[in-house]
A and B are shown apart, each in its own frame.
Chain A
Amino acid sequence: MSETLERPAAKADLQVVGTRPIRPDGADKVTGRAAYGADFNMPGQLVGKVLRSPHAHARIVSIDASKAKALPGAKAVVTAADFPDLASEVLEGGEQASNLRDLSLNVMARGKALYHGHAVAAVAAISSEVADEALSRIKVTYEVLPHVTEVEAAMAPDAPLLHDHLFTEGLEARPDKPSNVARRHRNLRGDPEAAFADADVVVEGRYVTPPVHQGYIEPQACVAAWAEDGRCDVWSSSQGQFMVRTYCAKVLGVEISDIRVTPAEIGGGFGGKTTVYLEPLALALSRASGHPVKMVMTREEVFRATGPTSGSVMNVRFGAKKDGTITAAEVELKFQAGAFPGSPVGAACMTALACYDVPNFLITGYDVVNNTPKVAAYRAPGAPIAAFAVESAIDDLARALSMDPIALREKNAVRDGTKASYGPTYQNIGYVETLAAIRDSEHYKAPLGPNQGRGVAVGFWFNVGGESTAAVNIAEDGSAVVVTGNPDIGGSRASMAMMAAETLGIPVERVRPMVADTASIGYSMLTGGSRTTFATGMAVVQAAEKVIADLKARAAKLWDVPADQVEWRGGEAICLDPKADKKPLTLETLAAQSARTGGPIAAQVSINAQGAGPGFGVHLCDVEVDPETGQVSVVRYTAAQDVGRAIHPSYVEGQVQGGVAQGVGWALNEEYIFDAQGQMENPGFLDYRMPVASDLPMLDAILVEVPNPRHPYGAKGVGEVPIVPPLAAVANALRGATGVRIPALPLSPPKVLAALDGAKAG
């Protein structure tokens, strides 16, 4: 490409990036016109519903669907027998790799039901009522097996085994007996035991967190239509239409290109929609019935059968010198994976010490299966959990050293050139700048009221790049359509339009961003890993640059000057040769004449984007506790984050605020409550208490901009870092308010009151 943008462009030169235009999808969303998963309908469609296991662990002895099939209006019944029995195969999806066999077994149980809510059969019928009746006529004979819920119980040698074929990986020698521990992760640097022996101060703690759900507003929903010739269409709400396409093709054993997936507007995902649950069932039901099939989960099904993130038990120990230099760390993480391997404990191990320059450490992680729904990605998967333990211990270390908590973190901070605990050497990171932003904030110096306390916590997330395709198509009037394959879950349409407008030099209102179906644009990895603005944005910029190169060539042709005598500036081709005496040609003019200069003006670019910059957040939280009831309220919150450069600052702030809100919910009230049979007791928002708007104060976001030189406009991923620090920030604030460390989430009123009582009793 001939165009030489300075990378990243200097901020002063930017016209569009960094401004706050109205989002292109805004009017549709506030007027209700936006079409979400459940809004799509087809003529003749049937209603699909799922029969779910009433047991947490049971052998499926037999399934008799004859009475259901005989019901008038019931058009199809499918069970595992209608899907191929797949071999183990690892698929790289986006946020987390998944095993194809496990994916298929999670979609439809085969032989064993592994959690209460596991799908065992599905029906399609002419109405919701007939579908319910058909479900009630399916007779499943179960042999109930002992189940296990808690992570340490699942690790015990005599625990009920979920999978006979599961042997712990990552040990020195292959074990001779199967176990619920799927993998042990281990990362050792230096000599931690010697360093602990030498330390002036040692702090340690055991921390516990419950599984929590992503809590997206929109339950999973889809329509599938299988045509007689074997081609199929799926309309669904997900974080990636290409992910849905691949997974459905593999689970059903069909050609990938035979499936077209059209993405609906998405009502929240937070990682939870990076896999499939309904789509393969709807396709199988459509194939069996010959009709389109629509499936929509209830909220109860969302809780019983879709991924939460892991519950955990963690042990953390830090050793330091009197001056605050951390010399040793030991981190042990035990994560529930749910019914199949694949908890985010690997990422948790990698992020646990990512903010600290520690010479000696041992990090150990265990990925443990148990009889609860298979976990799914949730915003910075694993990192908030590990950060809860590590940042709580660091807070205790600051107290033990009588050091300011930010000064302690500054003293041990990773910087450019530091070798990260997980391997690479940091470059262009903005961590110390972010610490300084909080240290220097008005909030950090503000006085506290009675029963109030203040907590600091930090967090890290890698952010990823990866495969993306983007097309920029210029219309005859000079307006532009930007097409990508990434569902917009956090304002990415706005960012795509802005980067295209900036590059082309036209107003953002003249750019219309579109999210296309799998047949209309090249492959893109799903929206996840905080990758879209970075990676797909890079593809958009490159496609726009390709268009510019083409425009310059056309101008050169019209002017009959050499191509290197044309420059693109401010949305116009400018002739550099003063002798030629040519007036600039605008995009409109060139677009109007496109037929004469070579046909339509359009470019598509497919890339595998590299160089995503890691992100760091520093959070400051004030809580107030009611000493008589144990109720904790967050009264003030400030979150600073290195965002590289904010393309649309409002949506970056929105990402920060949203992550904090979810993190505060995780800290204060959210938890899965299981009864003795392993059945979730609170599968609804009444008793699964996510915060409501009135539970939170205004959440202040400070955007620190240390640009990423690998992105044309300096962007780093921003969507995941904000959920990493809040769990510990709230817990540390409560520690400050009460003098008591409560190492188990959630910090719900009864638990806090009991801890206060315990402290009083001495």
Chain B
Amino acid sequence: MSQLAYLAPSSPEEAAKALAASGARPLSGGTDLLVQLRSGRTSPSLIVDLKRIAGAVGIREEAGGFVIGASTSGAVLGEHAGLLRAWPGVVEGANLIGSTQVQGRASLAGNLCNASPAADGVPALVAARATCVIVGPNGRREAPVESIPAGPGKTSLAPGEFILEFRLPARPPRASDAYLRLTPRTEMDIAVAGAGVNLVLHEDGTVAEAHVALGAVAPTVLHVEAAGAALVGTRLEDEALAALAAAAQAACKPISDKRGTAEYRTRIAGVLARRAAVIAYQRAGGQR
């Protein structure tokens, strides 16, 4: 019968060393890990709690951008006025996770590394072109968020590696983002599809830069460049939105399962991308 040990190191190096052991698993909020532990889906021999590591919890501004401790809870993200102003879409994605109780624990790193294709916190991070700082037995490296998930339940992290923080770039004026998902219930549900859109506008209201990321429509989150390109140079006229939706739908490679058919997920991804783009555009000060 299995034994389970628990460790809460205070330095990233110590954590990386502990995590290098086979059967070791990092812990942030535990809202995925503990559930999986209880249901018997996972049986680690060592749990390494990352929350005592300096920088793993909390938000700081740096060079005009933000550095978010990877284990910071959704509740803390939602109360940070500066982050909310610059990246409302990233925050709303994180804040859609679970319920008030779950928000007190759930983190972006856990959401990303649990590697569910439907993770709500991830599409807006990808659309934001966020990166993560990874610590491992061989030191630190930085990688784009979308390079982490490798398929349902799988990440590209090497043994011993964990995410210490997320970095969001500095924000120019007239820039904003949004995230929308569809769930049959209003909360405590898993996205049938999700869309994050990040826009930067020119002074005249035309789109200068656009990034669109989709969740739950492929084995991993999708950064759909063609969908972003469909918006650049437009004021989100109906044709531009239709082109966005079409590009988003063309990129979808979903499965049919108990949570939705492939056809439905694809169609909804287009609707959500369109609606999220309009919200981001209005937040950035654009007028349609």
Contact = CB atoms under 8 A, between A and B. Distances in A.
Interface in A693-713: 694-695
Given A681-B258, A750-B260, A689 B189 contact: yes
B260 A692 contact: no
A629 B275 CA distance: 12
Interface in A708-762: 748-750, 753
Contact of B187 (A685, A687, A692): A692
A133 interface: yes
A682 B258 contact: yes
A692 B187 CA distance: 7
A628 interface: yes
Interface string B184-200: 11111110100000000
Contacts of B264: 749-750, 753
Contacts of A130: 1
B268 interface: yes
Contacts of B164: none
B7 interface: no
A695 B268 contact: no
B187 A669 contact: no
A325 interface: no
Contacts of A133: 1
A584 interface: no
Contacts of B190: 686-687
A41 interface: no
A629 B191 CA distance: 13
A96 interface: no
Given A669-B184, A748-B184, A749-B184, A686 B189 contact: yes
A191 interface: no
Given A682-B258, A750-B261, A689 B185 contact: yes
Contacts, number: 44
A692 B1 contact: no
B248 interface: no
Nearest to A628: B271
Contacts of A673: 258
Contact of A687 (B1, B186, B258, B267): B258
A686 B1 CA distance: 29
A757 to B, nearest CB: 10
Interface in A629-687: 629, 631, 668-669, 673, 681-682, 685-687
A753 B263 CA distance: 11
Given A629-B271, A673-B258, A129 B185 contact: no
Contacts of A695: 185-186
A129 B1 contact: yes
Interface in B1-30: 1
A673 B256 CA distance: 13
Interface of B: 1, 182, 184-190, 192, 258-261, 264, 267-268, 271
Given A681-B258, A694-B187, 20 more contacts: A129-B1, A130-B1, A133-B1, A628-B271, A629-B182, A631-B182, A669-B184, A673-B258, A682-B258, A686-B188, A687-B190, A689-B189, A691-B185, A692-B186, A692-B188, A695-B185, A749-B184, A749-B192, A750-B260, A750-B261
Q: Which 8 A-B pairs have the closest CB atoms?
A: A694-B186, A750-B264, A628-B271, A129-B1, A673-B258, A681-B258, A669-B184, A695-B186
Interface of A: 129-130, 133, 628-629, 631, 668-669, 673, 681-682, 685-687, 689, 691-692, 694-695, 748-750, 753
11 contacts: A628-B271, A629-B268, A668-B184, A669-B184, A686-B188, A689-B185, A692-B185, A695-B186, A748-B184, A750-B261, A750-B264
